[in-house]
Amino acid sequence: MSESVVDPDEVRHVADLARVDLDDDEVERFTEQFGEIIAAFETLDEVPEVERESELANVMRPDEAHDCLSQDEALQNAPESEDGHFKGPKVS
């Protein structure tokens, strides 16, 4: 259908964009599987350009303050928090 569209470097690049570390075995498996899956996606080339009817309507609401989670509730699932804030890793 098409030449192998994916090589290991490309898998590593996409994993980097998606912020997912992969081990070498995963890179190897994904390289092989992605070639096959992306070849299937390429059959979408046969789809004609279709005029899309838009039945979409915006849904609006008044911009008013309402009850929401307390600070404790919002923090209860955080692996770590400090002084009422989420604790994140270093920016750089």
Partner 1 sequence: MATEYNAYVTTERIEGDDDGPLAGTTVAVKDNISTEGVQTTAGSAMLDGYVPPYDATVVQRLKSAGATIPGKTNMDEFGMGTTTETSAYGPTENPAAPGHVPGGSSGGSAAVVAAGDADMALGTDTGGSIRCPAAFCGVVGIKPTYGLVSRYGLIAYANSLEQIGPIAPSVEEAAELLEVIAGPDDHDATTRDNDGATEGLADAADGDVDGLSIGVPTELVEGADDAVVETFWDAIDELEAQGASYHEVDLPSVEHAVEAYYVIAMSEASSNLARFDGVRYGQSGGYDGNWNESFANAREEGFGEEVKRRVLLGTYALSAGYHDKYYKKAQDARAWVKQDFDSALDEADVLASPTMPVPPMEMGESLDDPLQMYLADANTTPVNLANLPAISVPAGETDDGLPVGLQLVGPAFGEKTIIRAGSALA
Residues that bind partner 1 (CB under 8 A): 11, 14-23, 26, 30, 33-34, 36-38, 40-41, 43-53, 59, 61, 69, 73-74, 76-80, 86-92
- Angstrom distance (rounded) from CA 37 to CA 30: 10
Smallest separation (angstroms) from partner 1 to the CB of 28: 13
CB of 53 closer than 8 Å to CB of 25: no
Smallest distance, partner 1 to C-beta of residue 76, A: 6
Taking the least distance from each CB to partner 1, the nearer of 20 and 65 is 20
Helix (H) or strand (E) holding 81: strand 81-82
Segment (H or E) for 50? none
Instruction: Give 84 or 92: the residue with its C-beta nearer to partner 1.
Output: 92
CA distance 68 to 81: 19
CB of 66 to partner 1, least distance (A): 10
